[in-house]
Amino acid sequence: MQNRRLRILSYVVIAYMLIAFLWWSVLLYTKNKDAFRAKAELLKIVLIAKDQIKDDETFKKTEAYQDLYRKYRHHEWMIFGEAVVFVISLVIGLYLINRAYGREMDAALNRRNFLLSITHELKSPIASIRLILETFLKRNLKKEQTDKLSGNALKEADRLNTLVNDLLLAARMETAYKPNLESMRLDAFLKEIVEKLRSKYPNSNFRLKLHDDLPAIEADRLGMTSVALNLLENAVKYSFDQAEIEVNLSKKDGKLYWETSDRGTGIPDEEKKKVFDRFYRVGNEDTRKTKGTGLGLYIVKEIIQAHEGVITILDNKPKGTIFKIALPCASY
C-alpha cells in the first residue's frame, strides 16, 4: 500500500514536472522569438538612420542581421534540444520507477508465498511426528505397526531436516557460500545418489547414462549433493504419476555436461528464468498440488555458479523438463 502511494506520488510529480517544463519551453521559445524581432527592429532603425539600407530585402542581407538570425536559430535549437533531453530523462525515470516497483511487488508476493508455504512445511512434519509419538504412548502396538509408524516418523524427520538444511543453505548463499573444493568423480557420485533415491521412491524409474572416461572435477561434495537431490526430487515431485527420470553425464570441449530429464509437467518458457529466483514457485495448479518453498532451484543455481558452471532449462520431448548443467573440468 505504502509502495503504491509512493508510486502514484512519483507519477504526479513527474507529470507536474513535464507540464511545467513544457510550459517553460513554450514560454522561452516565444520570448526568444520576441527578443529576436525587437533586436532586428532596433537594428533596422539604426541601419536606416545610418543610411546603410533601403528596404527589407537589403536589410535581411546585411552581415549584422544574418548574425542576429544565426544567434536566434541557435537559441531555438538549444531550447528544443534541452526539452528533448529532459523529456527522455523523465521517460527513462518513469520506466525505471515502474520496473523497480514491479520487481518489488514480485519479491513481496514471493516472500508472502514463501512464508505461507514454510509455515505449512514446518508444521506438518512436526504435527505428524507428534501424532505418532502420542500413538506410541497411548496404545500397545504390534511390531509391524510400530515399524510402520517409526518409518513414517523418520520420513517426516528427514523432510524437516532437508527443509532446515535448504533454509540454512539459502541464507548462506546470500552472504558466505564458498565451495569447499575437492577432487570428485561425478559419475560415481551420481550413481550413489540415484541408488538412494531408487529405494526412497520405488515407484519412480531412474535411468543413468554415464559416458566412459569421464574426468574428475573440483567440486564441493555437499553443494553437489544439494544440486542432485533438488533436481532429482523435483523431477519426481513434478512428474506426479510414475516418474521417468534420466540422468546423463558426458564431456565435450573441456566441459562436463550433466542433464537431468523428466517427463513431468514441464516449465513454460516465460517461467524458465523465474524459477531460479528465491522463493519463486510457478503459480499453476500442478505446483499448488505439491509441497515446496521455492528455494531449491535458487540454491542449485547459486551452487552451480559458484563452480563457474551454467544451468539452463530445456523442454523434454514429448513432454517434461531437462535441466542442463555445464561444468568446467580441467582434464579432458
CB of 245 to ligand ADP, least distance (A): 9
Contact 15, 87 (CB under 8 A): no
CB of 226 to ligand ADP, least distance (A): 11
Closest to ligand ADP by CB, 281 or 307? 281
Closest to ligand ADP by CB, 301 or 307? 301
Find the binder of ligand ADP among 156, 264, 302, 325 (CB under 6 A).
264
Closest to ligand ADP by CB, 65 or 114? 114
Residue whose grid cell is 524459477:
275
For 237, other C-beta atoms within 10 Å of its C-beta total: 20
Question: Pick from 204, 288, 212: which is nearest to 242 by CA?
Answer: 204
CB of 277 to ligand ADP, least distance (A): 8
Distances (CA, A) of 226 to 46, 168, 220, 236: 89, 12, 10, 15
How many of the chain's residues bind ligand ADP (CB under 6 A)?
22
256 lies in the binding site for ligand ADP (CB under 6 A): no
Residues in 202-231 that interact with ligand ADP by CB under 6 A: 230
Q: Using CA atoms, how far apart are residues 194 and 129, in angstroms rounded to an integer?
A: 27
234 lies in the binding site for ligand ADP (CB under 6 A): yes
Question: Pick from 79, 64, 67, 60: which is nearest to 21 by CA?
Answer: 79
Binding part of the chain for ligand ADP, among 19-27, 54-62, 180-188, 276-284 by CB under 6 A, reads: 276-284
Closest to ligand ADP by CB, 132 or 292? 292
Backbone φ and ψ of 16, nearest 5°:
-65, -45
Q: Using CA atoms, how far apart are residues 220 and 170, in angstroms rounded to an integer?
A: 16
For 197, other C-beta atoms within 10 Å of its C-beta total: 20
Per-residue mark of binding to ligand ADP, 20-59 (x: CB under 6 A): ----------------------------------------
294 lies in the binding site for ligand ADP (CB under 6 A): yes
Question: Pick from 272, 201, 293, 186: which is nearest to 240 by CA?
Answer: 201
Contact 41, 102 (CB under 8 A): no
275 lies in the binding site for ligand ADP (CB under 6 A): yes
Question: Pick from 187, 167, 177, 300: which is nearest to 233 by CA?
Answer: 300
CB of 313 to ligand ADP, least distance (A): 8
Find the binder of ligand ADP among 224, 267, 303, 311 (CB under 6 A).
267
Binding part of the chain for ligand ADP, among 74-82, 99-107, 210-218, 281-289 by CB under 6 A, reads: 281-289
Closest to ligand ADP by CB, 128 or 261? 261
Find the binder of ligand ADP among 25, 62, 146, 287 (CB under 6 A).
287
Find the binder of ligand ADP among 224, 238, 243, 249 (CB under 6 A).
238
Q: List, as own/partner pairs, every contact residues 82-88 make where C-beta atoms lie below 8 angstroms and the sequence separation is at least 24, other chains included.
A: 82/25, 83/21, 83/22, 83/25, 86/21, 87/18, 87/21
Find the binder of ligand ADP among 262, 263, 309, 311 (CB under 6 A).
262
Helix H or strand E encompassing 12: helix 2-49
125 lies in the binding site for ligand ADP (CB under 6 A): no
Q: Using CA atoms, how far apart are residues 203 and 40, in angstroms rounded to an integer?
A: 94
Q: Which residues bind ligand ADP (CB under 6 A)?
A: 230, 234-235, 238, 262, 264-267, 275, 280-282, 287, 292-298, 321
